């Protein structure tokens, strides 16, 4: 024998002596590779003392592992998450502007960084476009117009002035969208004073609705803005006047009622005589006063020639001759018939 004792197993599976454990521990690593050593170690039963030691170690380590692996975290509110995203966007925007200043305009790297700036600040455009949601205009069109304002703001922004980019870009985006509504959307242009006052009326309407829990009356809005009710109604009409509707456009009515053109008015039978009456008035002043009076008595008071002769003190034949002469003068002066 070489003096090295090999541990033997008892029928119960325990080792003979506790003093044999250290030599076994030293002999296994030196005789086999780590992969081979792990298999006998896993297959061989453990001593009671080793089991107790490992159990104590496990029990003592479990609480520390649980406390370190699953720390108690307070969930973030949506407002906190939004502020965090905004902070990350501002930091990214500032970094991109610093990189953009180091490249010449028109180069490939400059265009790449510029495109990254546009992509990073698109949420700002959507936020501004949401303020115009009540304008009955496709939101995609409003976002595209706002993006043009964002690009203009990026091209004009100077990071050396110490101003945050969202603060600089917001008025540019809003102005671009308002210019779009003013020039391209409105087919009915209203006075600028009414348009600006309509913005105030809209804001007062929202405030009073929140305050009273109902839609405010015209008198309440007028009192809030210190203006007359007529001006409030004019502002509301101006705010709605975006597009003109054709009177001849077909309108489908579920109740079978006539369309807009049929309900606005009717054909006046006296309309055709307007030009003739104006022409006759112009020609009558060219006649002598007595002939004017005879025509008025005959055709406006519907008197007969006998009644006219009795009123004027002349014969009926003379009244007939005067009427014939007046008609001849009127026909000669009438350029339309000529």
The reply to whether 177 and 212 lie within a common domain is no
Phi, psi of 132 (to 5 degrees): -110, 25
Determine the Cα–Cα distance for residues 121 and 115; give it in Å rounded to an integer: 10
Half-sphere exposure of 158 (CA within 13 A, CB side): 2
- For residue 327, being part of any structural domain is answered with yes
- For residue 64, being part of any structural domain is answered with no
CB 239 within 8 A of CB 201: yes
Determine the Cα–Cα distance for residues 258 and 250; give it in Å rounded to an integer: 10
- For residue 73, being part of any structural domain is answered with no
- For residue 176, being part of any structural domain is answered with yes
Determine the Cα–Cα distance for residues 230 and 218; give it in Å rounded to an integer: 9
Determine the Cα–Cα distance for residues 62 and 296; give it in Å rounded to an integer: 121
The pTM of the full predicted model, rounded to 2 decimals, is 0.42
Least Cα distance to 264 among 277, 251, 274, 275 occurs for 251
CATH assignment of the domain containing 329: 1.10.10
The reply to whether 146 and 229 lie within a common domain is no
CB 97 within 8 A of CB 157: yes
- For residue 152, being part of any structural domain is answered with yes
CATH assignment of the domain containing 159: 1.20.120.1810
The reply to whether 166 and 150 lie within a common domain is yes
Domain that includes residue 223, residue range: 192-240
The reply to whether 209 and 123 lie within a common domain is no
The reply to whether 176 and 196 lie within a common domain is no
- Per this entry, what is the length of the chain? 338
Q: State the residue for tokens 């002598």.
A: 288
The reply to whether 114 and 161 lie within a common domain is yes
The reply to whether 122 and 206 lie within a common domain is no
Name the domain boundary from 151, 169, 185.
Answer: 185
The reply to whether 232 and 294 lie within a common domain is no
Burial 319-332 (b: 16+ CB within 10 A, else e): beebbeebeeebee
- For residue 42, being part of any structural domain is answered with no
Burial 174-198 (b: 16+ CB within 10 A, else e): bebbeebbeeeeeeeebeeebbebb
Low-confidence ranges of the chain (pLDDT < 70): 1-73, 185-187, 242-265, 335-338
Least Cα distance to 154 among 194, 109, 96 occurs for 96
The reply to whether 121 and 153 lie within a common domain is yes
The reply to whether 96 and 168 lie within a common domain is yes
The reply to whether 157 and 196 lie within a common domain is no
Token readout for 81 is: 């998450």
CATH assignment of the domain containing 208: 1.10.10.10
The reply to whether 308 and 215 lie within a common domain is no
- For residue 108, being part of any structural domain is answered with yes
What string of DSSP letters covers 191-245?
A: -HHHHHHHHHHHHHHHHHHHHHSSPPPHHHHHHHHT--HHHHHHHHHHHH-SSPP
CB 303 within 8 A of CB 297: yes
Domain tally, the chain: 3
- For residue 309, being part of any structural domain is answered with yes
């Amino acid at each position: 024998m070489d003096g090295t004792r090999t541990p033997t197993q008892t029928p119960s599976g325990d080792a003979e002596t506790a003093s044999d454990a250290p030599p076994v521990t030293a002999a296994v690593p030196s005789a086999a590779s780590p992969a081979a050593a792990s298999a006998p170690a896993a297959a061989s039963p453990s001593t009671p003392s080793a089991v107790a030691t490992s159990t104590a170690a496990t029990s003592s380590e479990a609480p520390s592992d649980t406390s370190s692996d699953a720390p108690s975290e307070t969930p973030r509110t949506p407002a906190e998450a939004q502020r965090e995203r905004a902070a990350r966007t501002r930091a990214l925007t500032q970094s991109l502007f610093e990189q953009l200043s180091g490249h010449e305009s028109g180069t490939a790297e400059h265009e790449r960084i510029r495109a990254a700036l546009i992509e990073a600040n698109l949420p700002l455009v959507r936020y501004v476009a949401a303020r115009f949601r009540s304008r009955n205009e496709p939101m995609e069109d409003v976002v595209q117009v706002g993006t043009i304002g964002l690009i203009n703001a990026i091209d004009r922004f100077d990071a050396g002035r110490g101003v945050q980019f969202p603060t600089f870009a917001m008025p540019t985006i809003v102005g671009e969208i308002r210019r779009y509504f003013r020039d391209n959307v409105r087919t009915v242009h209203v006075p600028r004073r009414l348009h600006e006052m309509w913005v105030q009326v809209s804001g007062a309407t929202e405030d009073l609705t929140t305050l009273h829990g109902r839609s405010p009356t015209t008198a309440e809005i007028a009192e809030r803005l210190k203006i007359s009710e007529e001006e409030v109604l004019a502002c509301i009409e101006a705010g709605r006047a975006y597009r003109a509707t054709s009177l001849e456009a077909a309108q489908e009515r579920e109740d079978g009622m006539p369309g807009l053109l049929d309900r606005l008015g009717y054909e006046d039978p006296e309309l055709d005589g307007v030009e003739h009456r104006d022409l006759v008035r112009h020609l009558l002043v060219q006649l002598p006063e007595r002939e004017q009076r005879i025509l008025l008595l005959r055709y406006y008071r519907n008197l007969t020639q006998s009644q006219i002769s009795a009123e004027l003190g002349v014969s009926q034949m003379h009244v007939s001759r005067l009427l014939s002469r007046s008609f001849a003068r009127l026909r000669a002066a009438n350029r339309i018939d000529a």
